[in-house]
Amino acid sequence: MTKMLKGIAASDGIAAAKAYMLVQPDLSFSETTIDDAAAEIERLNDAVAASKKDLEVIKNKAAENLGEEEAQVFEAHLTILSDPEMLGQISDKIKNDKMNAEAAVKAVTDTFISMFEAMTDNAYMQERAGDIRDVTKRLQSHLLGVTLPSPALINEEVVIVAHDLTPSDTAQLDRKYVKGFITDIGGRTSHSAIMSRTLEIPAIVGSGSATSDIQADQTVIIDGINGDALVDPSADELKDYEQRAQDFAAQKAEWAQLKNEQSVTADGKQVTLGANIGTPKDVEGATDNGAEAVGLFRSEFLYMDASELPSEDDQFEAYKQAVEGMNGKQVVVRTMDIGGDKELPYLPLPDEQNPFLGYRAIRISLDRQDIFRTQLRALLRASAYGRLAIMFPMIATVKEFKDAKAIFEEEKAKLVADGVKVSDDIEVGMMMEIPAAAMIADKLAKYADFFSIGTNDLIQYSMAADRGNERVSYLYQPYNPSLLRLIKNIIDSSHKEGKWTGMCGEMAGDQIAVPLLAGLGLDEFSMSATSILKTRSLLKKLDTTKMKELADKAVSECETTEEVVKLVHEYTD
């Protein structure tokens, strides 16, 4: 019997393939006394050999897909597995203490891990503790005969089933084999969902129970448009899926005709449709989808993709590549927005009860000016190679903006004094994602060159509903009149000062929101690249005067989200 699962539609598209469970297996074991030490050591050696074999494959895949630097991690794992000191100690425990291999591995690796972790003044050695932990897991899985999920080893078409995916898990998915994914937790704007859209992998998040309702190798249909998954579908259901996948492909082909057209409404008002990117590599997807700008370059992904803070030169190369790739079109780079669900293994943040309300984004940058200034210098240098703009994330107060801008001006002056070429018209703006800032948009508009509304956060902060928590996703209401009022205040305030407002939260590509945003006078819409062409197609059908009437009514007359949605349909259907 087919099982149907309902989740949150996270990335458009329809796919069907065998389930691959990305779930951590049970690695528990009992400690036993063994008789035959030689046989136990042989078992250990076999497990070491099998682990090495896995790691060789993973290392080569990582080098191919992610680059040599990422592959170094696995080289380090291989070195640990060849360490005569550690392996010798494990064999000794088997021989002398008659321990089973699992227990001997645990005893020895625990000692090494504690030793490295104690080196609190040596970040490099502390990281080695994490490497030993990873290697031990692999070794134990081979000893216990259970499979450790390794996405890099996938070599057939699959749908990934996971409790959750971190942004770095998502970055490692190989599009050739991973046809879709479904998770238990997460929301439409959690970063793994956003990345699945960039990778164009159909996805469902927040299903609640995928990992318990789906078993390895069962066929799963992922409908990322509606958020439905079918497990063990019938032949008829599979046929229907194929038809819908074809319809979706045909629809995409129709939108593709608009790739080189401008983004204009039915009555001729021009707006900018931009793409959100995470790395310079995403520029190709942006231009392929007809982006007229990059409205948000999430620079923190450069930091997340590295094993240490990226140098000024490495960052410069990345920003330069992005502006050059966009060929004169504007690229808005957001300074590092770490914190919340985005972590840096090499920059441990204090444990906090509310990371989304904690030490993050501009708060870290203003505190760790060494990191901030390095990033600003890299950006300033890259500005000479195209049209670069900068914005600061999570600005809550006028003082934060002024402080950040002052540091930017200082670094600019230093570079100019040193004779380094820097563009003299870099726009410096800010994200509008905190309700307090939205309420004083009139004040902030005097200092910022532009605003970019980050609705992913603005919604969660104004509704006090975690963007990644499926239990409160009913409160995550982009069309709620409260949010529309904040947006209106931001746009109107910027226009009064002769500035522009963009939106880089996912709402900018939401087909119900677009008519409202067009009516509110939004100047730039920036979204996952894959939403650009359908938005261009929608805008062509909208009349600005009518949309302004719609937006005014929604803001002043509607009480609920449902009323707003009904009104949008009345005005657009």
9 φ/ψ angles, rounded to the nearest 5 degrees: -65, 120
191 is catalytic: yes
Which of 187, 227, 285, 454 binds ligand PEP (CB under 6 A)? It is 454
Say if residue 360 carries a ligand binding annotation: no
CB 103 within 8 A of CB 136: no
CB of 55 to Mg ion, least distance (A): 36
With respect to ligand PEP, which residue has the nearer C-beta, 265 or 501? 501
Write each residue from 479 to 518 as x if it is in contact with ligand PEP (CB under 6 A), else as -, in one continuous string.
-------------------------xx-------------
- The residue within the footprint of ligand PEP, chosen from 196, 207, 299, 456 (CB under 6 A), is 456
360 binds ligand PEP (CB under 6 A): no
Question: For this structure, is 504 an active site residue?
Answer: yes
Give me the helix-helix angle, 544-556 and 513-520, nearest 10°.
Answer: 100
298 is in an annotated binding site: yes
Strand ranges, E, within 128-285: 158-162, 178-183, 203-205, 219-223, 228-231, 272-277
Assess 184 for contact with Mg ion (CB under 5 A). no
Annotated binding-site residue? 427? no
By the 8 A CB rule, do 13 and 224 touch?
yes
- Which window, 241-249, 277-285, 454-462, 480-488, contacts ligand PEP (CB under 6 A)? 454-462
Q: How many residues bind Mg ion (CB under 5 A)?
A: 3
Residue 473 binds which entry of ligand PEP, Mg ion, none, CB below 5-8 Å type-dependent: none
362 touching ligand PEP, by CB under 6 A:
no
Instruction: Indicate which single residue of 457, 470, 510, 523 sits in contact with ligand PEP (rule: CB under 6 A).
Output: 457
Residue nearest to ligand PEP (CB): 454
* Residue 296 binding: pick among Mg ion, ligand PEP, none (C-beta 5-8 Å cut-off by kind): ligand PEP
* Euclidean distance between CA atoms 544 and 564, whole angstroms: 17
| Residue 457 labelled as part of a binding site | yes
Q: Is 278 in the site for Mg ion (CB under 5 A)?
A: no
**Rounded to whole angstroms, how far apart are CA atoms 201 and 195?**
9
**DSSP-based three-state secondary structure for 491:** helix
Catalytic residue among 77, 163, 495, 504: 504
Do 177 and 155 contact (CB within 8 A), yes or no? yes
Nearer to ligand PEP, 214 or 428 (CB): 428
- Beta pairing, strands 8-11 & 203-205: antiparallel
Contact at 8 Å (CB) between 205 and 183?
yes
Tokens, residue 115: 């030793």
Both tokens assigned to 245 = 């996948």
The one-letter code for the residue type at 24 is Q
Report in angstroms how near the CB of residue 330 gets to ligand PEP at its nearest: 16
3-class DSSP assignment, residue 288: helix
- In terms of C-beta distances under 8 Å and separation of at least 24 residues, what long-range contacts does 67-71 make, across chains too? 69/306, 69/307, 70/305, 70/307
Joined together, the tokens standing for residue 417 give: 């004094």
- Does 207 participate in binding ligand PEP (rule CB under 6 A)? no
Query: Please, which residue, 400 or 457, has the CB nearer to Mg ion?
Result: 457
Of ligand PEP, Mg ion, none, which one sits near residue 487, judging by CB under 5 to 8 A according to partner kind? Answer: none
Contact 544, 573 (CB under 8 A): no
d(CA 256, CA 262): 13
SS3 at position 275: strand
Contact partner at residue 504 from Mg ion, ligand PEP, none, CB < 5 to 8 Å by partner kind: ligand PEP
337 belongs to the binding site for ligand PEP (CB under 6 A) = yes
Partner from Mg ion, ligand PEP, none binding residue 455, C-beta < 5-8 Å depending on class: ligand PEP
The smaller minimum CB distance to ligand PEP, of residues 265 and 460, is found at: 460
Work out the number of other CB atoms within 10 angstroms of the CB of residue 413: 11
Is 289 a known ligand-binding residue?
no
Please give the residues from 243 up to 302 whose contact with ligand PEP meets the rule CB under 6 A. Answer: 296, 298
449 binds ligand PEP (CB under 6 A): no
Our CB check for ligand PEP shows the closer of 457 and 523 to be 457
First to last CA, the chain: 38
Q: How far is the CB of 189 from ligand PEP (least distance, A)?
A: 6
CA–CA distance, 345 with 113 (Å, rounded to integer): 16
Report the interface residues with ligand PEP, using CB under 6 A.
189, 296, 298, 337, 433, 454-457, 504-505
Binding residues for phosphoenolpyruvate: 298, 334, 456-457, 467
Active site residues: 191, 504
